[in-house]
Homo-oligomer: A and B are copies of this chain.
């Protein structure tokens, strides 16, 4: 994710979707909006066809508003239960079968055998490491990688790209270009771990939320409200690190760590924190200073406040009371 890397973009012409559930259908619609032809494989053709048609119906108005490719055609797709024919001439194969290692390995191995060795094969797995996924790919495991999206796939731009032991750097480069061609923002993960990066964060929050419900501290509705009306408002502009950099006042992250570092020892979650060593502190401070790009805290606050003011005006039109939905506080 070097700033100096030229951001190459390649729009894939033919995208094969393997497994047409919520995620697979999301990928299909994103590819259609980018002007690609889509072939979706699913063992249950009728259900997949109905689900994909429904996803296109739901998503297309939003995608039109976002801006379609000139050659985008919402009807440029078919569903088949013949995996070989689905993937044979694709530029990019996106695998989205259920999250079971043996099943994914079997399907990826089949795709590996049914495609030319330079066809890129991305897996939507939420948590499995790419090296494990590619273990059964005897033909060309170097083009197998994780490309983990977020629901709804046709709107959220993030895709985590994770290479395994056999994946080549060239494949990671081309993969980034292809997902950029689908209008996405690829985040290359440096090291393969279960859950990659984003799902580790979300899973930590999710597990803590389950504890809170389980311990009778709050309902699902209250926990959701605790996110939506507070930290959730900041998280589409700034992640936790830059947020805490600003919370530290004029001295930023270093002051924040002095003030709240000791809280890492307190039972504020059921998760044990790492030791705040000098090395870790330096990496956090330097990371935040880099992210600040020479801007003062006051300049960053100004930008944040302008965003939050616009966002509040927008989101108030959607919050539960606007439609008499539960969840307002």
Cα–Cα, bound, A58→B304 (Å): 11
Cα–Cα, bound, A52→B265 (Å): 31
Q: How many residues of A contact B (CB 8 A)?
A: 134
The 8 Å CB contact of A187, one of B21, B156, B194, B226, is B226
- How many copies of this chain sit in the oligomeric assembly? 2
- Chain A residues 43-101 with CB under 8 Å of chain B are 54, 58-59, 61-62, 65-66, 98-99
Instruction: Verify B158–A220 contact, CB threshold 8 A.
Output: no
Q: Which residues of B contact A204 (CB under 8 A)?
A: 204-205, 207-208, 269-271
DSSP majority for the A interface?
A: helix
The 8 Å CB contact of A190, one of B58, B203, B217, B301, is B217
Instruction: Verify B329–A187 contact, CB threshold 8 A.
Output: yes
- Chain A residues 142-197 with CB under 8 Å of chain B are 150-152, 155-158, 160, 185-187, 189-191, 193-195, 197
Q: Which residues of B contact A206 (CB under 8 A)?
A: 240, 244
| CB contact under 8 A between A268 and B304, given known A58-B298, A230-B150 | no
Q: What's the minimum C-beta distance from A74 to chain B, rounded to whole angstroms?
A: 15
Cα–Cα, bound, A193→B210 (Å): 15
Instruction: Verify B207–A271 contact, CB threshold 8 A.
Output: yes
Interface-located stretch among A102-110, A115-123, A131-139, A320-328: A320-328
Instruction: Verify B239–A195 contact, CB threshold 8 A.
Output: no
Instruction: Verify A280–B213 contact, CB threshold 8 A.
Output: yes
Q: What string of 1s and 0s marks CB contacts (under 8 Å) between A263-291 and chain B?
A: 11011111111101000100110011011
**Which residues in A have some Cβ–Cβ distance to B below 8 Å?**
1, 3, 21-22, 54, 58-59, 61-62, 65-66, 98-99, 126-127, 150-152, 155-158, 160, 185-187, 189-191, 193-195, 197-244, 246-249, 259-260, 263-264, 266-274, 276, 280, 283-284, 287-288, 290-293, 295, 298, 301-315, 318-320, 323-329
